[in-house]
């Protein structure tokens, strides 16, 4: 990513003593105060528009098997202020350029008695604060084990929060909206409703955590640049409303193995009195390192279809046969097995998807269930079941590649690891080379199930290092990665933009597993998407799952117009039209929006937003002057009023509006939509009714 403009200067901050420092944001809206308590405990305090938003909060780390932790008894050795301002170009993103502008304060601490040194580096942006711990090379601190990180985030009151439990292995929860003081009472229901295992305290929540104060200030807590460290959740003291960091343990209960020189991830707080500014923040990306891939020309945003939803709903199966109760890799002869008749990843059916993709201008087709081993992937042979290069008898890799190439379609590989990361690493080079040999430029990887090695969690340091290894190894082969069931993103896609997608949250598949709350996608952009794009897989047109599988009574809790709006609201450079081709053929007029909407954007405008209630976003196509608008509405019908002042002055446009019909309702009439056209300019105000669980989508094309 080329730097267009960079300015680094040293500036002065007024200080009383080294032990008390003050830092202001470039705009002056934020003030951060650092100080040491009497016992030498480092603390920080944050003000927004002269109002305290983070009370005095302690900093430090508790070490394992150490007589003295990095918690107190510090003195300030030095404090170095600096300022930084640059504009960098994105490989892909919600805009083509991002400004990285902050004031910085690096406080160097030395601990009395141990003479250990630790730097706390603060960066104050116009949208919030980021800080991290740094451990320089030194003789008194080389190898150390983290027992717990003791970073605090002290709230000023009993804020409203949108939260999910602090699970070590999944983020696939519906969000609960409550006061902080109500989390304990609602915790068990939140866990039960999402059928997860309780592995955490009854006041533990995950980041990105979205809150709103009584006086209308929005606070988002997360982390950035999570590398070689353990994922952070937050434990709440619901009497004092103080959050404390809680790192995911490994199989031994340890939280992190460190060797100086090293750094922690950034702890982030994005804060504003306007919810739209939270969505517009790029602080998480800015706290990551610049791109480390020199040639990024092979990294391309992708719109795709795939053999997936029919398996998720139970209409079809991933497995080829029902003959074998247990599979032994290299021993089982699938050619002698009886096909079960429901295996979706067969040559004939996949060619039908390729034909559909080519007909409607899509880029690629994803095929899951193509390789041997799905019959017993949760069984005792799990550690060896997938080798990632051997197809079932009814799927010919070379034949499908040749057919797709003749149609101008790329194929997307699927690697389900079943959580056996050592097995995946053993096969990774061979698997990636197999992809390149057969024309695959992208892979969807999966980590469903308990982790192997046994006892490890999806978000512990060792497993996170595996995810990072997979991304970097894929870059060596010029392969893009879409990781599912991995850790939620923290902006690493800036450094490695071949990480083109993640799941790591409750995606569309849960609409076939009993449903998600109708307002789910009005929360995700404020939480999960703060760290990077999500492969949410929108575009479901048939909401009654029983019509695909009579044994599945699930219902997709949105309207069809909402599904269209998600292509703009749920940002991703990797967008799937997830439903079956036959369902799209029933609604080809609505399907036109999915065909038209881009996956590359020049700029984004956040028109209206309230977490949990509604979001409306406008984005400009990277390759034309066209604009696209998407809205997702919560459980209460409302009228959305937007001004099109983002359009170029003096020009005329035609807007095609895909909206909820007057009688639309996510439960009773989800497929009721209306399509209209009208001429618009930058002075036009549109008022559109959105149903419960509804929304709308608009394509705006310049009239030549």
DSSP string, 519-530: TGGGTGGGTGGG
Q: Where are the beta strands (DSSP E) in 38-127?
A: 42-48, 51-58, 61-63, 74-89, 97-111, 117-125
CA dihedral (311, 315, 321, 322) positive or negative: positive
Among 445, 533, 458, 524, smallest CA distance to 497 is for 533
Half-sphere exposure of 166 (CA within 13 A, CB side): 25
Structure tokens at 418: 């079943």
Indicate which residues carry an active-site annotation: 509
Q: What are the residues facing 552 on neighbouring strands?
A: none
Gap between the Cα atoms of 266 and 561, Å rounded: 38
Q: Is-contact 523 658, C-beta < 8 A?
A: no
Gap between the Cα atoms of 156 and 149, Å rounded: 22
CA dihedral (514, 519, 525, 527) positive or negative: negative
All structural domains of the chain, each given as residue ranges with its CATH number in brackets, are: 3-286 (2.70.98.10), 302-597 (3.20.20.70)
Please name the residues in contact with 39: beta carbons below 8 A apart, sequence gap of 6 or more. 72, 73
Structure tokens at 116: 């250990």
pLDDT at 105: 98
DSSP 8-state class, residue 181: G
Please name the residues in contact with 167: beta carbons below 8 A apart, sequence gap of 6 or more. 173, 196, 197, 199, 200, 206
Among 614, 613, 600, smallest CA distance to 571 is for 600
Q: Is-contact 674 626, C-beta < 8 A?
A: no
Please name the residues in contact with 528: beta carbons below 8 A apart, sequence gap of 6 or more. 171, 208, 488, 504, 505, 534
Q: Where are the beta strands (DSSP E) in 451-596?
A: 480-484, 499-502, 574-576
Structure tokens at 589: 């007029």
Among 205, 242, 243, 206, smallest CA distance to 530 is for 206
Q: What is the CA radius of gyration of the chain?
A: 25
CA distances, 202 to each of 165, 506, 683, 698 (Å) = 8, 21, 51, 43
pLDDT at 193: 75
CA dihedral (388, 390, 396, 402) positive or negative: positive
Structure tokens at 359: 């007909």
Cβ atoms < 10 Å from Cβ of 115: 11
Omega of the bond prior to 453 within 30 degrees of 0, cis? yes
Please name the residues in contact with 408: beta carbons below 8 A apart, sequence gap of 6 or more. 358
pLDDT at 4: 39
User: Three-class SS of residue 67?
Assistant: coil
CA distances, 444 to each of 176, 294, 366, 502 (Å) = 29, 23, 8, 9
Among 175, 352, 158, 139, smallest CA distance to 236 is for 158
CA dihedral (41, 53, 135, 64) positive or negative: positive
Cβ atoms < 10 Å from Cβ of 425: 14
Cβ-based burial of 413 (10 A; exposed 0-12, middle 13-18, buried ≥19): buried
Pairing, β 117-125 against β 232-237? unpaired
Among 83, 493, 498, 490, smallest CA distance to 265 is for 490
Q: Is-contact 696 607, C-beta < 8 A?
A: no
User: Three-class SS of residue 358?
Assistant: helix
- How many residues comprise the chain? 704
Structure tokens at 28: 């002056």
Gap between the Cα atoms of 100 and 106, Å rounded: 18
pLDDT at 377: 63
| Element spanning 429, H or E | helix 421-437
CA distances, 150 to each of 79, 184, 199, 264, 295 (Å) = 22, 21, 19, 13, 40
Gap between the Cα atoms of 59 and 78, Å rounded: 17
Omega of the bond prior to 255 within 30 degrees of 0, cis? no
Indicate the pTM of the whole model. 0.95
Gap between the Cα atoms of 432 and 443, Å rounded: 9
Q: Dihedral angle at the C-alpha atoms of 449, 454, 455, 456, nearest 10 degrees?
A: -70
pLDDT at 202: 86
Omega of the bond prior to 261 within 30 degrees of 0, cis? yes
Q: Backbone phi, then psi, for 334, in 5-degree steps? A: -70, -25
Structure tokens at 316: 């079809």
Structure tokens at 544: 């009654």
Gap between the Cα atoms of 121 and 118, Å rounded: 10
pLDDT at 328: 58
DSSP state letters, 524-548: GGGTGGGSS-----------BGGGT
Cβ atoms < 10 Å from Cβ of 312: 24
> What's the distance, Cα to Cα, between the start and end of the chain in Å?
34
| Element spanning 205, H or E | strand 204-206
Structure tokens at 327: 């599979």
Taking 70 as the pLDDT cut, the residues of the chain under it are 1-17, 195-199, 324-332, 376-385
């Amino acid at each position: 990513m080329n730097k267009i403009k960079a300015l680094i200067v040293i500036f002065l901050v007024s200080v009383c003593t080294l032990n008390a420092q003050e830092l202001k944001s470039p705009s002056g809206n934020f003030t951060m105060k650092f100080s040491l308590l009497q016992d030498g405990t480092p603390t920080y305090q944050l003000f927004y528009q002269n109002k305290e938003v983070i009370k005095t909060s302690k900093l430090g780390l508790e070490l394992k098997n150490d007589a003295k932790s990095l918690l107190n008894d510090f003195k300030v050795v030095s404090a170095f202020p600096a300022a930084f301002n640059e504009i960098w170009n994105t490989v892909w993103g919600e805009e083509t350029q991002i400004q990285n502008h902050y004031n910085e304060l690096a406080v160097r601490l030395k601990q009395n008695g141990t003479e250990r040194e630790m730097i706390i580096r603060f960066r104050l942006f116009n949208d919030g604060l980021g800080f991290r711990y740094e451990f320089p090379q030194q003789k008194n601190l080389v190898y150390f084990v983290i027992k717990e990180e003791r970073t605090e985030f002290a709230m000023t009151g009993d804020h409203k929060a949108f939260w999910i439990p602090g699970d070590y292995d999944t983020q696939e929860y519906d969000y609960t909206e409550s006061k902080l003081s109500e989390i304990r009472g609602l915790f068990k229901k939140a866990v039960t409703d999402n059928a997860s295992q309780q592995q955490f305290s009854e006041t533990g929540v995950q980041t990105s955590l979205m809150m709103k104060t009584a006086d209308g200030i929005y606070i988002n807590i997360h982390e950035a640049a999570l590398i070689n460290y353990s994922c952070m959740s937050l434990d709440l003291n619901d009497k004092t409303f103080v959050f404390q960091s809680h790192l995911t343990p490994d199989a031994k209960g340890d939280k992190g193995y460190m060797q100086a020189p090293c750094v922690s991830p950034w702890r982030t707080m994005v804060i504003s009195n306007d919810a739209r500014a939270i969505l517009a923040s790029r602080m998480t990306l800015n706290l990551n390192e610049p791109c480390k891939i020199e040639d990024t020309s092979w990294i391309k945003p992708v719109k795709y279809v795939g053999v997936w939803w029919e398996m998720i709903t139970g209409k079809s199966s991933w497995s080829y046969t029902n003959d074998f109760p247990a599979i032994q890799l290299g021993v089982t002869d699938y050619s002698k097995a009886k096909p079960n008749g429901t295996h979706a990843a067969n040559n004939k059916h996949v060619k039908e998807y390729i034909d559909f993709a080519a007909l409607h201008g899509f880029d690629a087709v994803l095929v899951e269930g193509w390789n041997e081993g799905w019959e017993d992937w949760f069984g005792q042979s799990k550690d060896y079941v997938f080798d990632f290069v051997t197809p079932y008898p009814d799927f010919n890799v070379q034949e499908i590649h040749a057919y797709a190439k003749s149609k101008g379609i790329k194929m997307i590989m699927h690697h389900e690891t079943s959580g056996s990361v050592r097995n995946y690493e053993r096969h990774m080079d061979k698997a990636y080379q197999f992809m390149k040999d057969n024309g695959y430029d992208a892979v969807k990887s999966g980590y469903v199930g308990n982790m192997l090695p046994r006892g490890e969690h999806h978000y512990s340091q060792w497993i996170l290092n595996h995810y990072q290894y997979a991304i970097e190894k894929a870059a060596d082969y010029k392969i893009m990665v879409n990781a599912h069931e991995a850790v939620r993103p923290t902006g690493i896609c800036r450094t490695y933009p071949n990480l083109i997608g993640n799941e790591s949250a409750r995606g569309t598949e849960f609409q076939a597993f009993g449903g998600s709350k109708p307002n789910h996608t009005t929360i995700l952009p404020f939480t999960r998407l703060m760290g990077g794009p999500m492969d949410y897989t929108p575009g479901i047109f048939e909401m009654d799952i029983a019509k695909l599988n009579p044994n599945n009574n699930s219902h997709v809790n949105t309207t069809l117009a909402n599904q269209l709006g998600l292509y703009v609201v749920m940002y991703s450079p990797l967008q799937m039209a997830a439903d079956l081709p036959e369902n799209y053929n029933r609604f080809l007029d609505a399907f036109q929006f999915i065909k038209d909407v881009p996956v590359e954007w020049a700029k984004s405008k956040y028109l209206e937003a309230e977490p949990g209630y509604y979001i409306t976003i406008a984005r400009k196509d990277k390759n034309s002057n066209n604009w696209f608008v998407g809205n997702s509405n919560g459980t209460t019908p409302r009228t959305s009023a937007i001004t099109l002042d983002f359009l170029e002055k003096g020009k005329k446009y035609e807007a095609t509006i895909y909206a909820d019909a007057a009688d639309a309702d996510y439960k009773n009439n989800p497929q009721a939509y209306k399509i209209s056209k009208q001429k618009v300019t930058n002075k036009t105000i549109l008022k559109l009714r959105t149903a419960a669980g509804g929304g709308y989508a608009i394509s705006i094309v310049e009239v030549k």
